[in-house]
Amino acid sequence: MSDHGERAAIVGIGESAYLRGAEETPLEMMLTATHAALEDAGLSGKDIDGIIPPPVYTCAEELAANLGIDDLRYAATIQMGGASPTAAIGHAARAIQDGVANTVLLTVGWSGFSAMRPKPGARRAAPLQFGSLTRAFRDFYRPYGAVMPAQLYAWIATRYVHLYDVPAEATGAVAIACRKHAQLNEKALMRGKPLTMDDYLASRWVAEPFRLFDCCLETDGACALILTSAERARDLRVKPAYVLGAAEGHPYPADDIPSRPDFFRIGLADAAPRALAEAGIQASDADFLGIYDCFTHVVLLEIEALGLCGRGEAKDWVRGGRIELGGEMPLNTHGGLLSQAHVWGMNHAVEAVRQLRGTAGAAQVKDAKLGIVTGWGDLGDGSIAVLGGA
């Protein structure tokens, strides 16, 4: 991808409300976000000829029927859990570049709170199913008492903490940065609920080494992105965010943590060098980061996988205000999964587009021209998109 004429661009962004206890179904929330993204781009459903839906709750055909798309030329579903939306950016960009589709919709939505903790009388969402991961949980983890993601990720995090002597204040720095940024975002669930280091350290254990504030939020909500060619993007009314590079990676074995020869060789360790090389940059060139933050410890692993510091060094890299607004590398300026909402990381991409447009309001990074968004799914699948402004 040597010039903007060969790149796809994100030209529309949309969100539903982020809340706990949505009345809408996941599909309805996705349609709300999609209509907002279409309006943002100045397009209609008829302009869409490609769809990449989430791996749960709906399919491309159902979305097409609801949007009045009678010529769906491209449809794909990515089975990478939370890494799927960021991976979808790369898939869509290449479909557009190859001429398979002209304008592609990416959307994700779910009842991440309501489906897990339904209120009496509430509409019930369909149960989540994640292919081989669901079977691995059922057959190999649950019989031994590991039933929640925090318990499984704790295997990796515990080894990391002990091997590299990671203090709680390092992961606390991640949680506090996201919470600070959420105070500037009217759509953040944790707005109005500041967090201090004392609060963080005093929070209850969930599964050691994870405290409560190491864990992402459970929320309902949806996001949507519209991508088209860079050439067409120039004729639309919004400032585009160009896809400069994208890649995905998968740990081995993907769903079997105990059998991995290297716990810390996550999918992003393979994906990041490919995407950064495609974009012709180093991660340190970015003006801001959107790091998938299902757990604070995962953020440290991803920072190292991006090459921003060496293995075991993220514990120092994230401290001293570096990842806060006004610092060298602001991280999750919308609040992230930890303090805005859990929308599978697509809300990170929405925020990245706002930063590149210069419309992020009080959370705006000055002169932002280059951003990196990452995804983490299942038990370490990784994805990355490098985005640039005009």
pLDDT in tens, the chain (390 residues): 334 445 899 999 999 999 999 999 999 999 999 999 999 999 999 999 999 999 999 999 999 999 999 999 999 999 999 999 999 999 999 999 999 999 999 999 999 998 776 666 666 656 565 666 777 778 888 888 888 889 999 999 999 999 999 999 999 999 999 999 999 999 999 999 999 999 999 999 999 999 999 999 999 999 999 999 999 999 998 999 999 999 999 999 988 888 999 999 999 999 999 999 999 999 999 999 999 999 999 999 999 999 999 999 999 999 999 999 999 999 999 999 999 999 999 999 999 999 999 999 999 999 999 999 999 999 999 999 999 998
Measuring CA to CA, which residue among 204, 103, 195 is closest to residue 150?
204
How confident is the model over 251-286, as pLDDT tens digits? 999 888 889 999 999 999 999 999 999 999 999 999
What values do phi and psi take at 381, rounded to 5?
-55, 145
Which of 103, 90, 93, 119 lies closest to 8, judged by CA?
93
| Polymer length of the chain | 390
In sequence order, which residues have a C-beta less than 8 Å from that of residue 145 and are 6 or more positions away? 151
Angle at 171 between CA 247 and CA 287, to 5 degrees: 45
Kind of pairing between the strands at 8-15 and 241-249: antiparallel
- Strands annotated E in the chain: 8-15, 50-52, 74-75, 103-111, 205-207, 210-211, 220-229, 241-249, 288-290, 370-377, 381-388
Residues 6+ apart with CB under 8 A from 328: 322
Crossing angle of helices 296-305 and 168-182, rounded to 10°: 100
* Calpha distance 8→240 (Å, rounded): 9
- Backbone φ and ψ for 223, nearest 5 degrees, come out as -135, 165
**The amino acid at 177:** A
Chain position carrying tokens 């609920």: 193
Nearest CA among 26, 65, 341 for reference residue 178 = 341
> 205 has which bridge partners?
211
Q: Which of 112, 148, 156, 86 minimizes the C-alpha distance to 297? A: 156
Tell me if 258 sits within 8 A of 278, measured CB to CB.
no
Rg of the Cα atoms in the chain? 19
- Strand, coil or helix: what is 173? helix
CA distance 82 to 173: 23
What interhelical angle do 296-305 and 149-164 show, nearest 10?
Answer: 60
Q: What is the DSSP letter of 20?
A: S
Does this model's pTM top 0.85? My answer is yes
Q: Which residue has the tokens 């890299």?
A: 317
